[in-house]
Structure 1
Amino acid sequence: MNELPRLTSLAHGGGCGCKLAPSVLRELLADQPVTHVFPQLLVGTETADDAAVWQVDDNTCVIATTDFFMPMVDDPRDFGRIAATNAISDIYAMGGRPIMALAILGMPIDKLAPAQIREILAGGREICAEAGIPVAGGHSIDAPEPIYGLAVIGLCHPSELRRNADARPGDALILTKGIGVGIYSAAIKKGALDDQGIAEMVASATTLNRIGSDLAKRPEVHAITDVTGFGILGHGLEIARGAGLRLHLDLAALPLLDRAAELAKAGHFTGASTRNWAAYGAEVSLPPDLPDWQRALLTDPQTSGGLLVSCAADAAPDLLASIRAAGFPLAAIIGRAEAGTPGITVA
């Protein structure tokens, strides 16, 4: 009997590490038509935000997003669960609540068994059920590499919409999940991560960021984004550029998955980490003589990573306690936003 192939062996990349480099994406979007001619489109492509937002009336905004990628784990159900959690996160990052999803599926049907593909779909439905939404349809194609994700629709009140560009000077910055998913996935590809490490990574990547909907109800929370393929530096830069501020990150305060530092020191970087730094390193000030492995953590592409929250500094301790109590034990205050040249300083 033929042995079923490893999912990761069928993909040239995995998870949010598949994203185009930030510099490439900015070049591709540079000549896109302006969207401010549609006054009801509150969020489009202008601020590199997590989802599009259309205001229907005084009480309702519709949030729309799509996210899909190739596998970064070999278990089909876990792949489906991670991809679904990651896609739904964009709704939470805007302060909304999801209401339904559509599946996006591309599979090499000559290489994968139908049972494997069914498990991927089942994993996605499992997470959608946890979020309280249906998979209401979708689209599928025969593709050379396995691809799965969701288009997700959500709702929010206009007052609860949170853009990544609305951070304010003096804000504290909170990160809700540990960094290191990309490094763990690189180790998986090389067979260098044990079952315990895989379980830790999957547990983090399948934790829904539903805390974003609760945080958006707090007026002291000014901006939210989720940290995915561009790493903490890349998504931090989106906040900095959008708000016209400089972010100051405390390297020692950054939460990490248990083995992230160990694996980074051993050279388990992703190609996306290198591309990320090449794309935006000129806008970042790092400590002198920072080891490459620590820089790799800062640029590490997160798949279904945590929320980066910009909030009033005096409210940060209480918000942090609420986030940890909601199931995010690694959440930490990692820095602050200040007036200055847009960019990031790491110290």
Structure 2
Amino acid sequence: MIPVFDGHNDFLMRLLREPARRAALWLEGTGEGHLDLPRMRAGGFAGGFFAVYVPSPVPHDAPDFDAMLRNPPYAVPLPEPVPYTDALEVAVAEIGHLLWMERTGTLAICRSVAEIRAAMAAGKIAAVLHMEGAEAILPDLDALHVWHAAGLRSLGPVWSRPTAFGHGVPFAYPSSPDTGDGLTEAGKRLVRECNALKIMLDLSHLNEKGFDDIAAMSDAPLVATHSNAHAVSPHSRNLTDRQLAVIRDSDGMVGLNYAVGFLRPDGVGETFTGWDPVLRHLDHLIGILGEDRVGLGSDFDGATVPADLGDVAGLPRLLAALRDHGFGAALVEKLAFRNWLAVLERTWGV
């Protein structure tokens, strides 16, 4: 079985919501959601980026988000910023759950590619601690060093809402990703400090001006851990051909997002059968980025995924579809895990 190293999952958010059930949700496997240890092992999931994500409060008069996604066109307003103290509480709790997972002996938090390879060889899930949105960091950046000491090695300055550092792209279809201002001065300091600490910067939820700001100043490969091709599906969360070329020229990488609303050309947020949208995005990404700069970035436990995939246990079906599409064995391995390990070596230097 080909191992899969994945660019993004939201499993820690599930544990945040049901902490008393974490042993069942992780170790035993209840069949809920997309991820648990038994299904990971069944599907060949060897590791990936585990996101620390702070949910936005939902106002009592908020529109039905899921209904909007099922009926394009739509433009979901950006949520309000999350206060630092609220974000800090959630981030500490989610990292605590990841540390508990490590204490069970089934997972290792990895700070280098050598550690990822060692965890994979030992049959442990190789986890990269990632922060999706930097609300748990103040502009003085002291907390960034705290999180780095705890194992943080990947960070997205924003989720799809404003922070002290920049502006997230809204969920909108059809829409350009050019939706607002770029990085703040604090955001530019954050980029420089992440470069100094060798923390990978994730561009997935940034708007286009923020993307360009990081591209202009970062000395690391540009990476979008869970994004797709705007030319195939013109969603604001997807990357334009120009952005893909910038990532290519930095020797960076894009992880394919399985969220159906970003995959489907019609933008409808409902699942589908077959693999055509997945293959269309991969063909387009590979056509611009090349075979060495594309991987998988599932968004498991944070999105609706294709029906024929179902959950993490369906990864062998996805890889079989890639082979049936004409991708050779070497390319399938690159997409499954080798490209991720290579870009992390280029970013971390270890």
Is the TM value for this pair above 0.5? Answer: no
Q: Which has the higher contact order (CA 8 A, sep 6+)?
A: 1
**TM-score, normalised with respect to structure 2:** 0.28
**TM-score, normalised with respect to structure 1:** 0.29
Identify, as 1 or 2, the structure richer in strand: 1
